[in-house]
């Protein structure tokens, strides 16, 4: 198990944003460690003191990684204004907070190796991985996208939960086309260059599996090193123990391939 710390930094518009880090197991301060940069879902979510079945930083700490987790604008627990601030701005404030948070963590903890950083996210975090791939393409050595949207307009029509797009994108896509397209990852696929592991469940009705398959197709056609892990018996989560073991083995092996070798 790794030790955790929390610190704050100046994010979007110099507002206070919080970040957790978890040290690698058997931490040695004079050693440089690769970094797992975890991005939570929601976006109305938060990193907290919980033992999560999917994005559990202790799994990465145990594998020799430093973990960095930013509670960017849109996160819960910091007041309604902070949470609501990303309406119509999915790719704006959160990305700026993630950029500034990672920079702050690397400056604060010199034992983190800023040249060996991988970013991982699911749901909104998966959307953000696709957004990062097109709008922050030089930063990461590898990416992991679990259940993330590629096309926000199409995602409106194939999700079982319409509250999220109608609230966060300020309406319906036929009335608010510009709001759906402004921060739509599919419009920046031409900029992709980072190796990506794509994971999806066939029974995911929140983010339909066509979004993950489309992401993988784009990576393959662009000639970007990529891998698809597809679960025919999982939904928006990975709930079966054997599947979870495979999930963690595959994700950590992907990080090891690009950050340790």
User: CA nearest 130: which of 112, 116, 148?
Assistant: 148
> 89, 147, 204, 209: which is the annotated catalytic residue?
204
Q: Provide mean pLDDT across the span 50-57.
A: 83
pLDDT at 51: 81
pLDDT at 53: 77
Q: Any long-range contacts for 164-173 (C-beta under 8 Å, 24+ apart)?
A: 167/87, 168/43, 168/86, 168/87, 168/88, 168/90, 169/88, 169/90, 170/87, 170/88
Provide CB contacts within 8 A for 13, sequence distance 6+.
Answer: none
pLDDT of 242 > 90? The answer is: yes
pLDDT tens digit string along 112-159? 999 999 999 999 999 999 999 999 999 999 999 999 999 999 999 999
Distance (Å, rounded) from C-alpha 123 to C-alpha 3?
27
Based on the residue annotation, tell me whether 248 is a catalytic residue of this protein. Answer: no
Q: Provide mean pLDDT across the span 169-194.
A: 97
Mean per-residue pLDDT of the chain: 96
Which of these ranges, 39-53, 62-76, 96-110, 138-152, has the smallest mean pLDDT? Answer: 39-53
pLDDT at 229: 98
SS3 100: helix
> 123, 168, 169, 179: which is the annotated catalytic residue?
123
Based on the residue annotation, tell me whether 204 is a catalytic residue of this protein. Answer: yes
Domains and CATH numbers, the chain: 4-259 (3.40.50.1820)
Helix axes 124-135 and 93-108, enclosed angle (nearest 10): 80
Based on the residue annotation, tell me whether 75 is a catalytic residue of this protein. Answer: no
Question: Which pTM value belongs to this model?
Answer: 0.97
pLDDT tens digit string along 197-229? 999 999 999 999 999 999 999 999 999 999 999
């Amino acid at each position: 198990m790794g030790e955790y710390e929390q610190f704050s930094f100046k994010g979007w518009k110099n507002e206070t944003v919080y970040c957790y880090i978890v040290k690698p197991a058997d931490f040695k301060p004079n050693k440089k460690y690769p970094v797992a940069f975890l991005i939570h879902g929601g976006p109305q979510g938060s990193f907290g003191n919980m033992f999560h079945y999917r994005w559990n930083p202790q799994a990465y700490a145990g594998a020799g990684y430093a973990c960095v987790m930013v509670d960017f604008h849109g996160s819960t627990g910091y007041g309604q204004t902070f949470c609501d601030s990303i309406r119509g701005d999915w790719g704006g404030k959160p990305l700026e907070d993630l950029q500034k948070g990672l920079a702050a963590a690397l400056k604060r903890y010199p034992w983190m190796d800023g040249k060996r950083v991988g970013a991982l996210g699911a749901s909104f975090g998966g959307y953000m991985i696709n957004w990062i791939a097109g709008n922050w393409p030089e930063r990461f050595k590898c990416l992991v996208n679990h259940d993330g949207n590629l096309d926000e307009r199409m995602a409106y029509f194939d999700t079982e939960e319409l509250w999220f797009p109608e609230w966060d994108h300020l309406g319906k896509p036929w009335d608010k086309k510009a709001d759906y397209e402004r921060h739509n990852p599919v419009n920046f696929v031409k900029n992709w260059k980072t190796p990506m592991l794509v994971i999806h469940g066939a029974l995911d009705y929140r983010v339909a599996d066509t979004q993950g398959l489309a992401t993988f197709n784009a990576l393959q056609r662009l000639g970007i090193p990529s891998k698809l892990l597809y679960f025919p018996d999982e939904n928006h989560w990975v709930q079966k123990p054997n599947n979870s073991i495979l999930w963690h083995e595959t994700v950590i092996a992907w990080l090891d391939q690009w950050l340790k070798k």
